[in-house]
Chain A
């Protein structure tokens, strides 16, 4: 299928049983502006890392809010921190801080062996 440039979307089902807000609350406590995200995808369109790999910053925001943190740890590593997303964000969200906080929280959870 991919040869024909079709996307093969993954299941979009949200597992509410697996809802894990440990990272989300950590981020929201420290970066309130993330609340105003409208998932417009401007950040993803401009992303430097997104041009090199399948990194999708909008998707990170979505997984974060859906409490789906399993893939987050690998995905968020790909961010290069250049700050273009923060610059284009129409809601002035401090996305660099969001990424840094996610990384920090994951590191915390890993040291606590809670992830």
Chain B
């Protein structure tokens, strides 16, 4: 009869463990053969400790959320770490009280129910410690309740909309700890013991009447709330708690997303806690789009109701990925979904014919977007000319696209055809360097092209090298410049310093609040296929407004697409890095180069140039 209290808890627990074991087996068996070996190696080797450490730091202490907002971090930590300690310390307490290393799980959870009068070694200390931990969790719960109604206090402007399954889980989670307090306090009231918290509350319960009547109902309610939570967990967002551990282990094993859905995508999807941190980062909300953000993408993948409208309505700028506390690869995950969605209609590009390549030291690939900003092209030509570079302008007349726009649309197989064609052309030219002036092209050349012995450099890097080696001289223009980090270059390729170093030679680069990985998207991104022109303008104006507040002389960017988008805003002068550099080349230096001096001659002239 006594044991009836633990039945709801045990039923929930058994169901939960059943589901979790089933899921784990399904996920691990869904991995490719190599991934299975990777996972096995990582849990048998040294990396196991790294994974355990990361699990502790992220899943329990929530270090990343702490960094973003301490109050939000405290809320998550007190609930997760506090609960974890309650379980561990509760177990220790039971072990000591029972003088046994093996105690049944429900015995530890309902220790005060079974051993209410408990008087054993260190019982006073444990009573204090358990009360302290319970208070710790309850403080986090208080924050959680306040957060539901006043999210701004936690640095959040928006939170996600909850499903009914989430609501059941949330309510039962919220009830667990107050009910535990009441149940333990009733025990304390009956036996006149307990720590500082339970004895205090117990005194109040004693004061109201006969605590013995409340004894069973409170403990039963506590057990029921636990049982409900465990049953609701697998179908709610709280599934992220166990899944995140699996995710951390798989990620540390070196498993990566493939070009198709596999169980690793599933693990990432289930790891999403729907905290909504990505919602605030997403610029689309400025344009009133609030159903296609990463958190909803993950939710839709999980519920298998992802529509094309939502899937393709994303700038793919990566702002959400930076702040994700779980580390979900939101952009890659969306790309995989796009690949899955468009798999049936990839193009073959049969019309591509092998053009003859020109032999040169350096190949310059401007890219489609650069061709719409002719001044970038002419600036690059001037820079090449001044440096006396033996360069072949690969797509001056005609050339296929680099393939990145197709990849962003999910047409991976079609993009491969363009990549093969371009690769052959570049390799045939015998060049040692490929210069690219468009970050969109740069990313695909760096990541998806296999070009042995060819170094792919971005034009900012290339110009820096030219100046470092004395082949190019630039005057100081003394301008106050705001540098806009293009998404594909910054968050996409991690290149933040190279353009700043280049601009720093010419003038002053203004430091801003939202820069580098937190930089805005210009709004023109090729990643978004659904957004309308009007909505793009709203995104652009948000970025322009932020830059305007620093009142720079010019806005500099490194991406022709960003340049084109910002220029249409007509708020300030927008230039590409190449244009700024070309404008700063001293006039006589250009003449020297144009009058076909040999490269060595330029080098000997260089020291006498004003700089």
- CB <8 Å contact, B401 and A94: no
Binds B, one of A2-10, A11-19, A57-65, A101-109: A101-109
Q: Which residues of A contact B369 (CB under 8 A)?
A: 82-84, 87
Q: Is A79 among interface residues, defined by CB-CB distance under 8 A?
A: yes
Contact of B372 among A51, A88, A93 (CB under 8 A): A88
Q: Is A37 among interface residues, defined by CB-CB distance under 8 A?
A: no
Q: Is A78 among interface residues, defined by CB-CB distance under 8 A?
A: yes
Q: Closest CB of chain A to B438's CB: distance in Å?
A: 10
Q: Is B312 among interface residues, defined by CB-CB distance under 8 A?
A: yes
Proximity string of chain B (505-532) to chain A, C-beta cutoff 8 Å, 1 when within and 0 when not: 0000000000000000000101001111
- CB <8 Å contact, B405 and A77: no
In A49-88, the 8 Å CB interface with B consists of: 49, 51-53, 55, 77-84, 87-88
- CB <8 Å contact, A107 and B345: yes
Complexed CA–CA distance, A83 and B534 (Å):
17
- CB <8 Å contact, B530 and A78: no
CB-CB nearest in chain B for A104: B345
Q: A48-B368, A111-B344 known; A82 and B533 CB under 8 Å?
A: no
Contact of B405 among A30, A55, A82 (CB under 8 A): A82
Proximity string of chain B (347-379) to chain A, C-beta cutoff 8 Å, 1 when within and 0 when not: 111011000000000000000110110000000
CB-CB nearest in chain B for A30: B309
- CB <8 Å contact, A94 and B368: no
CB-CB nearest in chain A for B395: A48
- CB <8 Å contact, B344 and A87: no
Complexed CA–CA distance, A106 and B347 (Å):
12
Q: A48-B400, A96-B409 known; A82 and B368 CB under 8 Å?
A: yes
CB-CB nearest in chain A for B530: A97
Complexed CA–CA distance, A79 and B312 (Å):
18
- CB <8 Å contact, A92 and B409: no
- CB <8 Å contact, A106 and B345: yes
CB-CB nearest in chain B for A103: B345
Q: Is B435 among interface residues, defined by CB-CB distance under 8 A?
A: no
Total number of A-B contacts with CB less than 8 angstroms? Answer: 90
In B308-349, the 8 Å CB interface with A consists of: 308-309, 312, 342, 344-345, 347-349
- A: contact size bracket: 20 to 34
Q: Closest CB of chain A to B338's CB: distance in Å?
A: 10
Contact of A80 among B342, B344, B400, B534 (CB under 8 A): B400
Q: Closest CB of chain A to B399's CB: distance in Å?
A: 8
Q: Which residues of A contact B564 (CB under 8 A)?
A: 87
- CB <8 Å contact, B533 and A80: no
Q: Which residues of A contact B368 (CB under 8 A)?
A: 48, 82-84
- CB <8 Å contact, A84 and B532: no
- CB <8 Å contact, B406 and A80: yes
Q: Is B186 among interface residues, defined by CB-CB distance under 8 A?
A: no
- CB <8 Å contact, A77 and B348: yes
Q: A81-B409, A84-B371, A87-B372 known; A94 and B342 CB under 8 Å?
A: no
Q: Is B119 among interface residues, defined by CB-CB distance under 8 A?
A: no
Complexed CA–CA distance, A97 and B398 (Å):
24
Q: Is B411 among interface residues, defined by CB-CB distance under 8 A?
A: yes
Complexed CA–CA distance, A80 and B405 (Å):
8
In B276-322, the 8 Å CB interface with A consists of: 308-309, 312
- CB <8 Å contact, B532 and A94: yes
Q: Is B232 among interface residues, defined by CB-CB distance under 8 A?
A: no
CB-CB nearest in chain B for A88: B372
- CB <8 Å contact, A83 and B532: no
Q: Is B397 among interface residues, defined by CB-CB distance under 8 A?
A: yes
- CB <8 Å contact, B529 and A52: no
Q: Which residues of A contact B398 (CB under 8 A)?
A: 48, 51-52
Complexed CA–CA distance, A55 and B504 (Å):
44
Complexed CA–CA distance, A106 and B399 (Å):
27
CB-CB nearest in chain B for A32: B532
- CB <8 Å contact, A51 and B532: no
Q: Which residues of A contact B534 (CB under 8 A)?
A: 92
Q: Which residues of A contact B372 (CB under 8 A)?
A: 46, 84, 87-88
- CB <8 Å contact, A107 and B409: no
Q: Is B182 among interface residues, defined by CB-CB distance under 8 A?
A: no
Complexed CA–CA distance, A53 and B421 (Å):
15
CB-CB nearest in chain A for B537: A92
Complexed CA–CA distance, A51 and B534 (Å):
29
- CB <8 Å contact, B532 and A77: no
Contact of A81 among B399, B405, B524 (CB under 8 A): B405
Q: Is B418 among interface residues, defined by CB-CB distance under 8 A?
A: yes
Contact of B529 among A78, A82, A94, A107 (CB under 8 A): A94
- CB <8 Å contact, A92 and B532: yes
Complexed CA–CA distance, A81 and B312 (Å):
14
Complexed CA–CA distance, A82 and B530 (Å):
15
Instruction: Pick 10 A–B contacts, CB within 8 A, sort by A.
Output: A46-B372, A48-B368, A77-B348, A80-B405, A80-B406, A82-B405, A83-B405, A84-B372, A94-B533, A96-B409
Residues of A with Cβ closer than 8 Å to B? 30, 33, 46, 48-49, 51-53, 55, 77-84, 87-88, 92-94, 96-97, 100, 103-104, 106-107, 111
